[in-house]
Chain A
Amino acid sequence: MLVFETPKSFKKDFRYSFCKGCDHGIAIRLVAELIDELGLKEKTILTTSIGCSVTMYDFMDLDCIEAPHGRALAVATGVKRACPDKFVFTYQGDGDFASIGLAESMHAALRGESLTAICINNTTYGMTGGQLGPTTMMGQITTTSPMGRNREYYGYPIHIAEQIAMCDGTAYSARVSLDSVPNIRKAKAAIKKAFEAQLKGLGLGFVEILSTCPTNWNMTPSEAHEHVKNNMTKTFPLGIYKDVTEE
C-alpha cells in the first residue's frame, strides 16, 4: 500500500535549488500536499515576491504571479478582489514579509482580506548572504552584525505571529517549526487551518514557520535543526496565537 508519494502539484522532474538541509523544501511540500488534498490545484494563484522563497514557482505546477519585493500580500489582495473565486496565497521569507513588506503585510491583516500568507522565518536574509534581518535573534552573529545582535545598535527582533494575531482582520495566526517529524505534522495542520480561514472567507490566515539556513548559520543540517529546537523556539515560542475558524 502506498502511504507516501510526491504530491501531484509539483512539476514533473523538479529538483529543489535550495541548499542542503534547508527547510524551505519541507514547507513547500506541505503546501503541495494540502493543495492536492483540498483539490485546489486548478483554482490556486500563488503570489511570491523576493528571496529564496520566490523559487517556489519553479517547482510547483500552479498559476503564479510575481510581486515587487515585500508586496506579495498587496498584489494578492488585487488578485483576490478581481477573482474572488480563486484560492490565493503568498509564500514569503521573513525579510520579505516583516521588513520590506511589513506595511503591506500588516494592512492586509487589518483589512481582513480572505487570503493565506505563509512566512518562513530563518532569522536571516538567506538569498543575499546572511545579513541581519528583522527576526535575527539577540546575540546572533550575521555578516552585518559580526559582534552579534545587541539592543544598543540593532534593537530587538519582531515576533511576527503575535503581531499579526493582534490585527482584528486576522482569522488565524500560528507559529510552527519544522525541526522534528511531530512538529512537521503540526505545521501541516496549521497551514490547513490557514487555508480554511480563506476558504470560509473569515479573514487572513497566517502561518509563521521556523526554518533552517545551514549555509548562512555555518552549521551542518543536523546542527541547524538542533539550533531551531534548542534556541529559536525559546525566542519564538510555538503556538496558535489567534484562531476564529472554529467559531
Chain B
Amino acid sequence: MAHIKIDENRCKTCYLCIETCPKGLIKKSNRVNKLGEYTVEFVDEKKECIGCAMCAMRCPDVAIVEVHK
C-alpha cells in the first residue's frame, strides 16, 4: 500500500509538499514543532496515494524520509 513517512524533527514547515502533492494528501496538522509552527501530516483515508514520490523530491529538508509504493 502506497504511503509516505514524515520525520517531524526535520520538517521546517515550508509547506511546499502541500502544494506539490497532486492528490492533496498532505495537510497541516494540529501538532506544533519547537518553533511553534504547525507540522504537516499525511492523510489518505481513501487510499489515493500512488507513491509518485513528488513530495519527497520537493521537500528541501529530506523530512519525507520514505515513500512506499
A interface residues, Cβ below 8 angstroms from B: 1-6, 10, 15-16, 18-26, 29, 181, 184-185, 221-222, 225
Interface string of B16-35 (1 = CB under 8 A from A): 10011000000000000000
B interface residues, Cβ below 8 angstroms from A: 9-10, 12-16, 19-20, 51, 53-54, 56-62, 64-69
Residue A4 contacts which of B9, B12, B56 (CB distance < 8 angstroms)?
Answer: B56
The reply to whether A4 and B16 contact each other, CB–CB distance below 8 Å, is no
Q: Closest Cβ of chain B: how far from A55's Cβ, in Å?
A: 13
Report B-chain residues with C-beta under 8 Å of the C-beta of A4.
53, 56-57, 64, 66-67
Q: Closest Cβ of chain B: how far from A44's Cβ, in Å?
A: 19
Known: A2-B66, A3-B51, A18-B60. 15 other contacts (CB 8 A): A1-B69, A2-B67, A4-B56, A4-B66, A4-B67, A16-B61, A21-B16, A22-B60, A25-B59, A25-B60, A181-B20, A181-B54, A184-B57, A184-B58, A221-B60
Q: Closest Cβ of chain B: how far from A215's Cβ, in Å?
A: 12
Smallest CB-CB separation from B66: which chain A residue? A5
The reply to whether A221 and B10 contact each other, CB–CB distance below 8 Å, is no
Smallest CB-CB separation from B12: which chain A residue? A20
Report the separation of the CA atoms of residues A22 and B56 in the bound assembly, to the nearest whole angstrom. Answer: 15
Report the separation of the CA atoms of residues A29 and B68 in the bound assembly, to the nearest whole angstrom. Answer: 19
Report A-chain residues with C-beta under 8 Å of the C-beta of B65.
5-6
